[in-house]
Amino acid sequence: MALLELYHYWVFVVLLMIGFYAVIAKLNLIKKLIGLSLFQAAVFLLYITMNKVEGGTAPIFTDGAVDQLYSNPLPQVLILTAIVVGISTLALGLGIVVRIKEEYDTIEEHEIQEIDRQ
């Protein structure tokens, strides 16, 4: 278990930063949105990592289980709703990208800025 003690957190950090890199360095708007969902997924992973209790099981009571340890239900509730809210806001972002494509005929940020400057 020693190997895994901090590995989950490191994976969270690396995923978060990969997503962040896509948001700031990529100029394609769809790529930016994919980066944003990677960033979001990293946060989900952090919360769910923290909910784990060593030797515990999913927080669903089973009949006749005595002294059973359960993992923390609260982060699960938060992330459960966050995932569905995430997909709705992602759809909103994609809708805006589609409208931008229709108006500017491109979804590359630098080309949009060039058209705006004209």
Partner 1 sequence: MTVVFSFFLLTMLIVTAIAIVRIRDLFAAVMLSGIFSLLLAANFFLLDAADVALTEAAVGAGISTVLFLSALAMTTDKEKAAPSNRIIALIVVTAMTLALIYSTFDNPAFGDPDAPIHQHVAPWYLETTREAIDIPNVVTAVLGSFRGYDTLGEVFVVFTAGIGVLFILGAPSGKPRQTTDLHSEGLRHYLVPRVVGRMLTPFILLFALYVQFHGDYGPGGGFQAGAIFAAAIILYALLEGEKSALEAIPRSWLIAMTAGGALLYSAVGVAGMLLGGNFLDYSVLADNPVAGQHIGILLIEAGVGITVTGVLLSIFHAFAARDKF
Interaction residues for partner 1, span 62-81 (CB under 8 A): 62, 69-77, 79-81
Closest Cα to residue 93, out of 38, 39, 37, 45?
37
Among 64, 67, 97, 116, binds partner 1 (CB under 8 A): 97
Among 13, 113, 114, 115, binds partner 1 (CB under 8 A): 13
Q: How far is residue 113's CA from residue 106's CA, in Å, rounded to a whole number?
A: 11
Among positions 18-57, residues that touch partner 1 (CB under 8 A) are 18-22, 24-28, 30-31, 34-35, 37-38, 41, 44-45, 48-57
On whether the CB atoms of residues 29 and 109 are closer than 8 A, the answer is yes
SS3 label, residue 70:
strand
Among 67, 84, 117, 118, binds partner 1 (CB under 8 A): 84
Q: How far is residue 105's CA from residue 35's CA, in Å, rounded to a whole number?
A: 22
| Residues that contact partner 1, how many (by CB under 8 A) | 83
Q: How far is residue 63's CA from residue 35's CA, in Å, rounded to a whole number?
A: 43
Site of tokens 């809708």? 95
Work out how close the CB of 46 gets to partner 1 at its nearest, in angstroms, rounded to a whole number.
10
SS3 label, residue 28:
strand
Work out how close the CB of 39 gets to partner 1 at its nearest, in angstroms, rounded to a whole number.
10
Among 64, 110, 116, 118, binds partner 1 (CB under 8 A): 110
Q: Does 96 bind partner 1 (CB under 8 A)?
A: yes
